[in-house]
Structures are given as structure tokens and as C-alpha cells.
């Protein structure tokens, strides 16, 4: 990969596409700064070399141009603290002020541009808009793995204006390295843990994993679509009735390919979607009328843990239950602990995709696994085997 390690940025002005699409609370305080912290080494490398940095990102999905709620000004202070240097802010990502502020940057200085998505041209991949952004700098760095699946002006189109000066940042490099390790060079046994509520969200990645994994562990709401497809009673559990044939197809393909699919053998069921509902742990596959499965049971937790501990490669995407509610967090917590234990035994463990990352953080296991991805949709598309526009634009 052509990473920033290959260049000395002394005297250069680099524009870096970052993914600062972070969650903010109602007071505009950042509730999870993982994505910002991840980019600090990239920024610091360029500053340390004697270069200057222009940062560009989107925040949220603004529909009607500039909107205070989606302004990147809300993250300036936090970013300044993390970088231990005052970050300048341009309240428009293109135009005169962005141009002047960029041109006046001195070595070691950082400028953050306002939200790219305040212009419709960003998501449309408009070439003129990309050219405007490109005119601000003489090197382009893409470190926005979380947005690499978007063919937007700042993530892909802009690269053509830097034919000999386009690089991957350290976040991109680490993400691609760990995802490639899992998908293309997995040490065996390779155990993939798939959770979350819908089979439809995960079907392409499951199909790709059927070619690679030794075991696919299934949990979360999507397990009930499998149960229903197998003819079991699932009560009021979540189910995609139009995906029953897809579930059957996965089971058949797995059998043909010798991939073990593990489904829950016991479940935590409740009579309401509520932490304080009546709750039972039931063995077997029959969930009666009026009950819904909201987590895997203890026996399943133990079986899944045992399988994960045998692995040399582990991929975890998606929770095992409604882990946001204490009554239904046991399964997800057990998986987080099992991933940490497997890592300790020498396995390579990759955790990715919004909810499982939230879970690994909740149980304070993030630094006990091999890699926690900053990508949600981007990681899933990478795992599906798709070419990500943000990666292709630098490589081409
Ligand atoms: C994300 O949070 O998934 C990325 O920042 C991409 O955002 P998007 O889904 O709005 O394109
Ligand atoms: Mg998204």
C-alpha cells in the first residue's frame, strides 16, 4: 500500500479525508471519539515531518445545506486537545476563506474545514467540487476508512487531481491490513461470529465467509429467522419471513462445504421488549406464543466460548442479544470476553461493525482484542468482497 510512511511531508500541505462522523449528545459533546483518536498518528506524522494539515470530513447526513447541528465546529476543541495544538477552523469547506486559510498555514499547523456534506456536490461525487478541494493542498491523504465505501467527491473523485501525490493514512493501512488478514490469510481454525437482528444485512458477508471460515456462529435476532426456516416455533421473536429460503440456502451451502454453523441451543425469552419483562431461560428450539427471544442462553454462551477459544482467527460482527438492556446482555458480554481470551491465547481477533464495537467498549475489552475497526458499513462491504471506492482511488 502506498502509505504516508513513504513520504517526507516537510514543506508540504496535505489535505486529509478523515471520518469524524462521531456521535454527539444534545450539548454537542462527543460521546465516542474513537474515530478522531484513530487519526492522530497520521496527523502527527505529517506535522512532525514539517508539513501542514487540512482536515476534511462529513458529520451526519445533513439534507439542506449548512445546519448548526452538523457543524464540525463542535469538534474543534476536542481535536485541539488531542493534538495538543490549536486547530483552526474554516466555516466553509471551499471558497475564499478556505483558500486563504489553507494558503496561510505554516509548517506544523492544522486547519479543519466545515462539513463537506453541506454541499450536495460531495455525495454526488461532483468533479468541480473535488477540484476546489484539491486546489487547497499539494498532497492528498485518505484516512477515512469508515467512509471508504462511498464514491464521494472527497473520498474518491478528488484523487485524480493528485496522480503522483495520493496516499493512505495509518488508519486506512491498519484497517485494510487487518481485514485482509482475516478474509484472505486467516490462520485456521477461523471462527466468524455473526449477530444483529437481520439476516438480510449480513447475507452477503455470510456467503463470503462460507468460502473461508471453519465455523460460523450465529446469534442475535437473525437466529430466529434460521429457527423459523428450520420449522421451529419462535413465538413473537423477530423474524424476516421473506428470508426463510435464504437461511435454508446458507445451511445447505454450509453443509456442502463442510462449514459448521452454530445456532443457539437455549435462549433468554421475555414476554415484552423490556428490561423488566417476565424473563425465562429455555432449552431447545421451541419458543411459545407470547414470548420472544432476546438473548442466547447460558449453554449457548458456553458452547460459543469453547469454539472461539479453539480459533486462531476470529471475526465478530453484531451482538448476540439486546445488550443495551441488562437483562439481555449476557450473550454479547460472553462473546466479548471470549474474544479477549482467544486473543490472549494467540488468536487474531477483529471486531467490527457499529454494535459489536459499542459492545466491546462497554465491556472494556477493546484493548484486549487484536483490532477494533472504525468502519461500520465500510468494513461490511470490504468483508463482502466489494472494492471500496476510497481504496481503489488511491490504488489506481
Ligand atoms: C458511517 O458512520 O457509517 C460513515 O461515517 C459513513 O456515513 P454514511 O453512512 O452517512 O455515508
Ligand atoms: Mg453508515
DSSP 63-74: SSS--GGG-GGG
* Contacting residues for 338 by C-beta, under 8 A, at least 6 apart: 304, 305, 308, 309
> Residue 79 phi/psi, 5° resolution?
-65, -40
pLDDT at 11: 98
Residue of 171, 160, 141, 147 whose CA lies nearest to 396: 160
Q: Helix (H, G, I), strand (E, B), or coil: what is residue 346?
A: coil
| Residue 280 confidence class, pLDDT cut points 50, 70, 90 | very high
Q: The whole model's pTM is what?
A: 0.93
Name beta bridge partners: 283. Answer: 266
Q: Which grid coordinates are listed for 196? A: 444483529
Binding-site residues, ligand 1, Cβ < 6 A: 19, 21, 61, 146-147, 150, 376-377
In whole angstroms, give the CA distance from residue 221 to residue 199: 8
Total count of residues recorded for the chain: 396
62 C-alpha vs ligand 1 centroid, how far in Å? 12
| Residue 285 confidence class, pLDDT cut points 50, 70, 90 | confident
Q: For residue 35, give the ligand 1 atom closest to its CA.
A: 5
pLDDT at 387: 95
pLDDT at 195: 96
For residues 119-145, give the mean pLDDT: 98
Pocket probe mutation, ligand 1, options 58, 59, 201, 317, max atoms within 8 Å of Cβ: 58
| Residue 78 confidence class, pLDDT cut points 50, 70, 90 | very high
For residues 120-127, give the mean pLDDT: 98
| CA dihedral over 113, 54, 352, 31, signed as positive or negative | negative
In whole angstroms, give the CA distance from residue 60 to residue 82: 22
Ligand nearest to the CA of 22: 1
Please say if 198 is a catalytic residue: yes
Please say if 221 is a catalytic residue: no
Q: For residue 21, give the ligand 1 atom closest to its CA.
A: 5
Q: Which grid coordinates are listed for 224? A: 430466529
In whole angstroms, give the CA distance from residue 259 to residue 210: 7
Amino acid at each position: 500500500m502506498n502509505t504516508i510512511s513513504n513520504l517526507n511531508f516537510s514543506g508540504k500541505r496535505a489535505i486529509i479525508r478523515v471520518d469524524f462522523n462521531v456521535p454527539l449528545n444534545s450539548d454537542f459533546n462527543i460521546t465516542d471519539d474513537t474515530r478522531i483518536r484513530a487519526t492522530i498518528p497520521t496527523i502527527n506524522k505529517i506535522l512532525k515531518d514539517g508539513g501542514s494539515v487540512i482536515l476534511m470530513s462529513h458529520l451526519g447526513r445533513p439534507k439542506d445545506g449548512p445546519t448548526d447541528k452538523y457543524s464540525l465546529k463542535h469538534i474543534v476543541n476536542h481535536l485541539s486537545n488531542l493534538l495538543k495544538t490549536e486547530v483552526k477552523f474554516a466555516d466553509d469547506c471551499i471558497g475564499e476563506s478556505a483558500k486563504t486559510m489553507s494558503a496561510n498555514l505554516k509548517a506544523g499547523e492544522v486547519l479543519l474545514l466545515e462539513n463537506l456534506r453541506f454541499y450536495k456536490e460531495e455525495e454526488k461525487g461532483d468533479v468541480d467540487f473535488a477540484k476546489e478541494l484539491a486546489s487547497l493542498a499539494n498532497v492528498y491523504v485518505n484516512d477515512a476508512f469508515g467512509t471508504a465505501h462511498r464514491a464521494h467527491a472527497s473520498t474518491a473523485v478528488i484523487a485524480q487531481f493528485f496522480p503522483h501525490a495520493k496516499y493512505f493514512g495509518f488508519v486506512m493501512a491498519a484497517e485494510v491490513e487487518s481485514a485482509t488478514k482475516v478474509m484472505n490469510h486467516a490462520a485456521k481454525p477461523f471462527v466468524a461470529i455473526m449477530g444483529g437482528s437481520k439476516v438480510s444485512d449480513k447475507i452477503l458477508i455470510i456467503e463470503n465467509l462460507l468460502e473461508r471460515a471453519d465455523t460460523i456462529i450465529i446469534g442475535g435476532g437473525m437466529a430466529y429467522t434460521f429457527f423459523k426456516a428450520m420449522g421451529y416455533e419462535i413465538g413473537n421473536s423477530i423474524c424476516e419471513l421473506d428470508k426463510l429460503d435464504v437461511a435454508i440456502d446458507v445451511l445447505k451451502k454450509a453443509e456442502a462445504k463442510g462449514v459448521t454453523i452454530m445456532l443457539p441451543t437455549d435462549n433468554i425469552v421475555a414476554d415484552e421488549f423490556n428490561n423488566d419483562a417476565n424473563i425465562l431461560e429455555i432449552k431447545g428450539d421451541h419458543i411459545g406464543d407470547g414470548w420472544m427471544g432476546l438473548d442466547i442462553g447460558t449453554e449457548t454462551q458456553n458452547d460459543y466460548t469453547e469454539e472461539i477459544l479453539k480459533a486462531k482467527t476470529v471475526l465478530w460482527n453484531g451482538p448476540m442479544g439486546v445488550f443495551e438492556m441488562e437483562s439481555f446482555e449476557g450473550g454479547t458480554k460472553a462473546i466479548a470476553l471470549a474474544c479477549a481470551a482467544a486473543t490472549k491465547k494467540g488468536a487474531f481477533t477483529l471486531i467490527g461493525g457499529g454494535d459489536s464495537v459499542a459492545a466491546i467498549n462497554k465491556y472494556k475489552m477493546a484493548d484486549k482484542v487484536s483490532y477494533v475497526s472504525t468502519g461500520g458499513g465500510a468494513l461490511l462491504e470490504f468483508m463482502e468482497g466489494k472494492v471500496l471506492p476510497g481504496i481503489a482511488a488511491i490504488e489506481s
